[in-house]
Amino acid sequence: MVENTGLITGINGNMITVQFNGAVHQNEVGFAVLGEDRLKAEVIRVNGNDVQMQVFEETRGLAEDDIVEFSNRLLSVELGPGLLGQIYDGLQNPLPVLAESQGFFLKKGAYLKALDHERKWPFTPAISTGDRVNPGDCLGHVQEGIFDHKIMVPFDFDHGLRVETIVPAGSYTLTDRLAVAINAKGDAVNLTMSFEWPVKIPITCYKERLLPQEPMITGTRVIDTFFPVARGGTYCIPGPFGAGKTVVQQITSRYAQVDVVIVAACGERAGEVVETMREFPKLKDPKTGKSLMERTVIICNTSSMPVAAREASVYTAVTIAEYYRQMGLDVLLLADSTSRWAQAMREMSGLLEEIPGEEAFPAYLESRIARFYERAGLVLLNDGETGSVTIGGTVSPAGGNFEEPVTQSSLKVVGAFHGLSRERSDARRFPSIHPLESWSKYKSIIDSEHLGITRDILLRGDEIRQMMTVVGEEGVTPMDFVIYLKSELLDSVYLQQNSFDPVDAFCSAERQSYVFTVLVDILKNPFDFSDRDAAREFFNSLRQKLIDWNYSEWKSVAFDSLENNIRAMMNLQGKVSERPK
């Protein structure tokens, strides 16, 4: 029975003002009653006898004096086996199940169980009667697709619970009682396969946080080589519209060398997430041979879905990521776009008539962004294993100008910055990560001496290019001209990568190191050309060969023969170190 209720006194967009009597918690969930429907809402400000709530649905149809029922709980998600492969909205409603019952459209006020409560999972216990267990400890195991899914003691339970009973191995549903444990006060608590966790509260059930150092291979050369991301690290991808943020993330979600990928489509186009939704079940994960969908969870609150639920969606996503991290897995969370999330905050802040900060974003924008990225990390779990959450967020700066609050706040807290440039995307130089503006604090798979050489060439090449726009090609020395050609070569055959080619889309760490060594040899070569045209001609044909090389399967016959071709070309020009055995 609902005890605590209130009455609506004001409606403005998706914010309602509610007069209440009992006790109300900040961020508590309530339901606005609209005929048969109950619209989920969250308390975002308390003011005397009024609370302001953001409604996770369209508010049209609500009226003054309509009832709001408070739930006394925070906005939560259900955690347990069966999350993988799911497609959820920002509030963890399974969209395919909604589609089955409601057809083409999303009706408001329809909330479904996030996980299937009927399904039985074969469970193997890992504890026995009399054991002491702490939050996050493993009760037993369930095989979820390709993973050993650890069933854990809820993260907010008491420490030192004594196990009273535990079920034998067998098949159980999510709600079946698996174990009874006694806390210090002597109360019995039930342990089940799934439990709820409030999304805005980070899961901190681990021993300590470790420094992220191991690279997370994405298979995108410019990232892994030049602007790497560490497992447990954070990075952001700002870029003007159409620069390629989503494509970079889609490619990463396919090829990243991690266990679990959470795709959070936050306030962007529905069509894009549909591509992922439809393609992933068909694509094979090269590592496991299973469909990619088995390692993926999609959280999808697209731009025409309610804006408050969009704000919630990133928290839903990161909570699920942390949950799998607790099992000792490496999880990658890709959020597209964090700007839409920030805008959702801005919309609510505007309705609350808070004093606006820069570009009308609320003053707390920066701390919210920081706290979100801080939920990434490499952790040492209580059982001695490590797990990680890596977070990559796109940013959609207004006008493509990085001097705006969301980009700037993100840059302060992330470990790598992949800045996409309009200039590069216009020239179809994809992925359009700007090689001179981007940075990463993490360690590359390539040794720093070689990286230094190539960076210098890119930098010098750019200077020379700029110089040539002022003084013309003739105005630079032949040697400089060759440096410029070298930087262009590096750009076209290494920085650029064809995301839509089945071979080129993914370049393994091994292949990157191999190809890079060959390239460095080429770049180190002084060259001596009779004139500029000869130089250009040589580099054009070399580029052609290297592009073909990129398209050839790693270690295939074509790969070898192209490599020999390239080496032969180089030998005519100078020398290249011997081909490694």
Residue 565 in the binding site for another protein (CB under 8 A): no
Q: Which does 278 bind (CB under 5 to 8 A by kind): another protein, Mg ion, ligand ATP, none?
A: another protein
Choose among ligand ATP, another protein, Mg ion, none what residue 37 binds, the Cβ cut-off being 5 to 8 Å by kind. Answer: none
Q: Which is nearer to another protein, 137 or 311 (CB)?
A: 311
Question: Residue 152: which of 141, 167, 138 has the closest Cα?
Answer: 138
User: Residues 141, 149, 340, 418: which binds another protein (CB under 8 A)?
Assistant: 340
Structure tokens at 222: 């410019």
Cβ 39 to another protein, closest distance in Å?
11
How would you classify the pairing of strands 121-125 and 170-172?
A: antiparallel
The residues pairing with 47 across neighbouring beta strands, listed in sequence order, are 50
Nearer of residues 51 and 416 to ligand ATP, judged by Cβ: 416
> By CB under 5 A, which span of 195-203, 239-247, 465-473, 503-511 interacts with Mg ion?
239-247
Tell whether residue 573 is a contact of another protein (CB under 8 A): no
Query: Residue 198 Cβ, how far from ligand ATP at the closest point, in Å?
Result: 30
CA 490 to each of CA 34, 170, 459, 486, 574: distance values in angstroms, whole numbers, following the listed order: 61, 58, 12, 6, 18
Q: Using the rule CB under 6 A, is 396 a contact of ligand ATP? A: yes
Q: Which amino acid is it at 320? A: I
Site for another protein in 405-444 (CB under 8 A): 426-428
> Does residue 493 touch ligand ATP according to CB under 6 A?
no
* 531: three-class secondary structure by DSSP: coil
Residue 419 binds ligand ATP, judged by CB under 6 A: no
Q: Name which of 88, 437, 86, 443 is nearest 232 in CA terms.
A: 443
Site string for another protein, 96-115 (x = CB under 8 A): x-xx--xxxxxxx-------
10 Å CB burial of residue 526 (0-12, 13-18, 19+) is exposed
Q: Which residue from 136, 212, 239, 393 is in contact with ligand ATP, where contact means CB under 6 A?
A: 239
Question: What binding mask, one character per residue, do residues 441-480 give for ligand ATP by CB under 6 A, x or -?
Answer: ----------------------------------------
| Contact assessment for residue 322 and residue 203, using Cβ atoms and an 8 Å cutoff | yes
The footprint of another protein on residues 453-472 (CB under 8 A) is 468-472
* Phi/psi at 163 (5° precision): -75, 125
Least spacing, CB of residue 332 vs Mg ion, in Å: 18
**Interface segment toward ligand ATP; rule CB under 6 A; list 51-59, 73-81, 183-191, 245-253:** 245-253
Number of chain residues interacting with another protein (CB under 8 A): 85
Name residues whose C-beta falls within 8 Å of residue 301's C-beta, 6 or more positions apart in sequence.
89, 90, 265, 266, 267, 309, 310, 312, 313
The answer to whether the CB of 69 falls within 8 A of the CB of 5 is yes
- Exactly one of 219, 244, 419, 461 binds ligand ATP (CB under 6 A); that residue is 244
269 binds another protein (CB under 8 A): yes
- Which of 438, 505, 369, 420 is CA-nearest to residue 245? 420
Size of the site for ligand ATP (CB under 6 A): 14
Indicate whether 478 belongs to the interface with another protein (CB under 8 A): no
Footprint on residues 204-243 left by another protein (CB under 8 A):
240-242
Residues paired with residue 43 on neighbouring β-strands, in sequence order: 53
Tokens of 390: 């890596």
Q: Which stretch binds Mg ion (CB under 5 A): 85-93, 238-246, 430-438, 568-576?
A: 238-246
Report residue 184 as tokens. Answer: 């210090």
Strand partners, 298: 87, 263
The contact mask relative to another protein for 297-316 (x = CB under 8 A, - = no) is ---x-xxxx-x---------
Q: Rounded to 5 degrees, what are φ and ψ at 209?
A: -95, 140
- Map tokens 């592009």 to a residue: 547
Q: Does 219 bind ligand ATP (CB under 6 A)?
A: no
Binds Mg ion (CB under 5 A): choice among 225, 246, 296, 440: 246
Residue 512 Cβ, how far from ligand ATP at the closest point, in Å? 17
Asked if 52 and 45 count as a contact pair (C-beta separation under 8 A), the reply is: yes
Q: Is 158 helix (H, G, I), strand (E, B) or coil?
A: coil
What's the CA gap between 104 and 540, in Å, rounded? 52
Q: Which two tokens stand for residue 177?
A: 């009682």
Chain residues in the site for Mg ion (CB under 5 A): 245-246
Chain residues in the site for ligand ATP (CB under 6 A): 239, 241-247, 268, 396, 430-431, 499-500
